[in-house]
């Protein structure tokens, strides 16, 4: 089999290397996000925070300019910001705690580390600018000597950078071995060295109208006291602007190092949520992201632009699914059931219903009967519908068609189809990486069926659906790696998924396609709130204010929690956001906190009477 270079095989921004700019898709809503105020960039893991920050960092901007032959001439003149990227490594930043050192000393040590690390990165930029544009020589050597507590005055930027690297190594050695007689590091006040270097750098004519931004990525990995340190720098930018990227619920405190100050929106920072694009905007954004990747495929160079449009490959196969369900044997079974349910007597009266051959409409007849409508009422609306007159039937089809397809796949034991661009878009739940993973797997499946870009074709329903099932299953299996709740989180998702799966089999379809729940948040215990916040942090749940609160209480604080749609194929449920299930806070507490048998009992109580069935939920918690 020939080598196949899947354009979707890299799904993490940090793995794209120096060529990251080739994959960056600009969206109009990004315009103006980086300005003279800090930015809090929020979104689940894989939603594009790292890509946005890395793309706007100095050295990636330089690489892009070099590729376009716009470096060095005109490069600095075209830039409004100088960007410095820093990732809060979850394996490193937690090292600044415990070990017999008190909290105030850890605060000083981390502030010093941050000064050294960001200053080192700023100096790398200053050295590069000096090399290419010949800026003023180092004039703050003596001040730097005092701040660092070193013996000699650094003669130039490179020497200063080496001194800072040594100081950082000594500090890290100390925090890892604090009780071994190592000398305590020289402490630097929060942000002092960073801002001193920035002020000096900005005195150069080429730079003076720029803004220096430090991008703190994965802010949720920082300890609360470390977030206070960054919050203080956000509150008092002088002159460096600190921007943070974090997952939902990743801001653990809005306090600063000053006891009476907090950071607040919009006074101290602007806010952008990468998961809250309008549907049309998100779809256009995904198309542009895919176009960037498909444009890198050598075999597609010089071909028609249709082949770099992801919609060409992710063809919708919904008609094929309905055709497969519409086998004569399936239709006959439904018609026999329908004839038994219609009123006896005037058989000819209901003949138009029995002559209908659209399996979705025939199944809808049965649903309407389950809801208590008479055959005469159904027939009357159906005849008006067929005559293209005003009829309730048109609305019944619109509201129930997709739910009926789920019902039919269950009844006729057929795997649900999850194919098409819009389906993959819904499954991704606003998280770009999920969409890319779905595409990667679908193209790999197609390659096993001899797909190649020399002769591109649309991906089949099976290739796409198998991809959706595969990604959904491995995302589900990964749940027990999400600390701190891991196993408990996986159990909770299992309960939710099974509840929604059963409700998709409701023969009345009283509320079709339920896949998220609403609860009174104020009625939950602190432990349950922490659990839900952790689920939101990991993008397992997505939290929203309830849009249609039927409660009379203004202070009820009802919140919607959406099970991430990436789990929909695993549970064979709809990825569309249609109907919510109300779960009272007491029952939700049981699903989260109670022992398995009690939680199972509650899960069964939730679906009892709602799905028209009497069987107990079969829930495997292995």
Residue pointed to by tokens 């409409």: 361
Evaluate if residue 608 carries a pLDDT over 90.
Answer: no
Question: 142 CB contacts (<8 Å, ≥6 apart)?
Answer: 153
- State the Cα–Cα distance between residues 331 and 335, nearest whole angstrom: 6
| 423-444 confidence digits (pLDDT tens) | 999 999 999 999 999 999 999 9
Least confident of 58-67, 479-488, 554-563: 554-563
* DSSP, residue by residue, 30-62: GTT-SSSSEEEEE--TTSSHHHHHHHTSHHHHH
| 433-492 confidence digits (pLDDT tens) | 999 999 999 999 999 999 999 999 999 999 999 999 999 999 999 999 999 999 999 999
- State the Cα–Cα distance between residues 335 and 333, nearest whole angstrom: 6
The pTM assigned to this predicted structure is 0.94
Which H helix or E strand runs over 507? none
What phi, psi does 257 have (nearest 5°)?
Answer: -70, -20
Confidence of residue 610 (pLDDT cuts 50, 70, 90): low
Contact assessment for residue 577 and residue 515, using Cβ atoms and an 8 Å cutoff: yes
- State the Cα–Cα distance between residues 192 and 148, nearest whole angstrom: 11
| 280-312 confidence digits (pLDDT tens) | 999 999 999 999 999 999 999 999 999 999 999
- HSE-up of residue 436 (Cα within 13 Å, Cβ side): 23
What pLDDT is attached to residue 510?
85
| 351-362 confidence digits (pLDDT tens) | 999 999 999 999
Confidence of residue 545 (pLDDT cuts 50, 70, 90): confident
Supply the DSSP symbol for 239: S
Evaluate if residue 582 carries a pLDDT over 70.
Answer: yes
Evaluate if residue 167 carries a pLDDT over 70.
Answer: yes
β-strand partners of 83:
213
What pLDDT is attached to residue 357?
97
Evaluate if residue 617 carries a pLDDT over 90.
Answer: no
Confidence of residue 549 (pLDDT cuts 50, 70, 90): low
Query: Taking the mean position of all CA atoms in its chain, how far away is CA 477?
Result: 18
Confidence of residue 618 (pLDDT cuts 50, 70, 90): low
Residue pointed to by tokens 């910001």: 81
What pLDDT is attached to residue 552?
47
Confidence of residue 2 (pLDDT cuts 50, 70, 90): low
Mean pLDDT of 155-164: 97
Contact assessment for residue 371 and residue 512, using Cβ atoms and an 8 Å cutoff: no
Evaluate if residue 127 carries a pLDDT over 80.
Answer: yes
Looking at the chain, how many residues does it have? 622
In 117-268 the beta strands, taken as DSSP E runs, fall at: 211-217, 241-246
Which H helix or E strand runs over 290? helix 279-294
| 181-206 confidence digits (pLDDT tens) | 999 999 999 999 999 999 999 999 99
Q: Which percentage of the chain shows pLDDT scores above 90?
A: 89
Q: Which percentage of the chain shows pLDDT scores above 70?
A: 95
What pLDDT is attached to residue 37?
96
What pLDDT is attached to residue 554?
47
Written as six digits, the tokens of 572 are 């064979």
Across the beta sheet with 541-545, the strand order is 541-545, 558-563, 514-520, 579-582
Confidence of residue 316 (pLDDT cuts 50, 70, 90): confident
Evaluate if residue 245 carries a pLDDT over 80.
Answer: yes
- State the Cα–Cα distance between residues 307 and 223, nearest whole angstrom: 47
User: Does 612 or 263 have the greater pLDDT score?
Assistant: 263
Mean pLDDT of 41-47: 96
What pLDDT is attached to residue 555?
53
Average pLDDT, the chain: 94
| 498-531 confidence digits (pLDDT tens) | 999 999 999 988 889 999 999 999 999 999 999 9
**What do you get for the CA distance between the two ends of the chain, in Å?**
38
| 94-124 confidence digits (pLDDT tens) | 999 999 999 999 999 999 999 999 999 999 9
């Amino acid at each position: 089999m020939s080598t196949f270079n899947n354009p979707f095989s890299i799904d993490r921004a940090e793995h794209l290397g120096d060529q990251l700019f080739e994959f960056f898709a600009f969206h109009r809503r990004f315009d103006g996000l980086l300005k003279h105020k800090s930015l809090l960039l929020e979104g689940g893991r894989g939603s594009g925070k790292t890509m946005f920050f890395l793309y706007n960092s100095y050295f990636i901007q330089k690489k892009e300019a070099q590729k376009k032959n716009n470096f060095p001439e005109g490069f600095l003149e075209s830039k409004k910001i100088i960007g410095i990227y820093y990732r809060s490594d979850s394996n490193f930043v937690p090292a600044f705690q415990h070990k017999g050192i008190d909290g105030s000393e850890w605060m000083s040590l981390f502030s010093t580390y941050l000064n050294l690390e960001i200053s080192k990165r700023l100096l790398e930029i200053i050295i590069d600018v000096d090399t290419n544009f010949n800026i003023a020589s180092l004039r703050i050597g003596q001040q730097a000597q005092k701040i660092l507590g070193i013996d000699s005055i650094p003669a130039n930027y490179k020497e200063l950078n080496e001194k800072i690297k040594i100081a950082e190594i000594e500090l890290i050695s100390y925090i890892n071995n604090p009780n071994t007689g190592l000398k305590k590091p020289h402490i630097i006040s929060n942000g002092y060295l960073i801002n001193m270097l920035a002020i000096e750098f900005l005195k150069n004519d080429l730079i003076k109208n720029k803004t220096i931004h430090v991008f703190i990525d994965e802010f949720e990995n920082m300890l609360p006291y470390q977030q206070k340190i960054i919050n203080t720098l956000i509150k008092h930018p002088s002159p460096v602007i600190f921007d943070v990227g974090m997952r939902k619920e990743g801001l653990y405190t809005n306090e600063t190092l000053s006891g009476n100050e907090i950071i607040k929106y919009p006074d101290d920072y602007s806010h952008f949520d990468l998961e809250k694009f309008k549907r049309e905007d998100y779809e256009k954004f995904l198309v542009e992201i895919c176009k960037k990747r498909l444009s890198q495929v050598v075999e597609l160079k010089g071909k028609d632009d249709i082949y770099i449009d992801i919609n060409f490959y992710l063809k919708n196969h919904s008609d094929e699914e309905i055709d497969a369900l519409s086998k004569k044997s399936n239709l006959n079974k439904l018609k026999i059931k329908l004839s038994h349910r219609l009123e006896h007597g005037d058989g000819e009266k209901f003949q138009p219903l029995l002559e209908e051959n659209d399996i979705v409409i025939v199944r809808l007849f049965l649903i309407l009967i389950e809801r208590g409508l008479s055959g005469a009422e159904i027939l009357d609306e159906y005849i008006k519908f067929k005559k293209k007159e005003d009829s309730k039937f048109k609305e019944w089809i619109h509201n129930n068609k997709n739910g009926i397809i789920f019902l039919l796949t269950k009844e006729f034991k057929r795997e649900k189809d999850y194919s098409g661009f819009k389906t993959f878009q819904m499954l991704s739940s606003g998280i770009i990486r999920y969409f890319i993973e779905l595409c990667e797997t679908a193209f790999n499946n197609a390659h096993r069926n001899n797909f190649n870009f020399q002769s591109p074709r649309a991906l089949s329903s099976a290739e796409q659906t198998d991809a959706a099932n595969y990604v959904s299953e491995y995302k589900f299996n990964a749940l027990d790696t999400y600390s701190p709740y891991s196993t408990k989180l996986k159990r909770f998702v299992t309960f939710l998924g099974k509840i929604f799966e059963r409700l998709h089999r409701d023969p009345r379809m009283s509320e079709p396609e339920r896949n998220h729940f609403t609860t009174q948040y104020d009625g939950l215990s602190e432990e349950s709130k922490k659990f839900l916040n952790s689920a939101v942090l990991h993008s397992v749940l997505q939290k929203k204010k309830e849009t249609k609160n039927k409660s009379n209480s203004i202070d009820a604080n009802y919140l919607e929690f959406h099970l991430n749609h990436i789990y929909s194929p695993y549970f064979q449920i709809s990825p569309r956001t249609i109907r919510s299930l109300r779960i009272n806070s007491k029952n939700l507490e049981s699903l989260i906190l109670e022992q398995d048998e009690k939680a199972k009992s509650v899960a069964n109580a939730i679906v009892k009477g709602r799905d028209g069935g009497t069987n107990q939920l079969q829930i495997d918690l292995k």
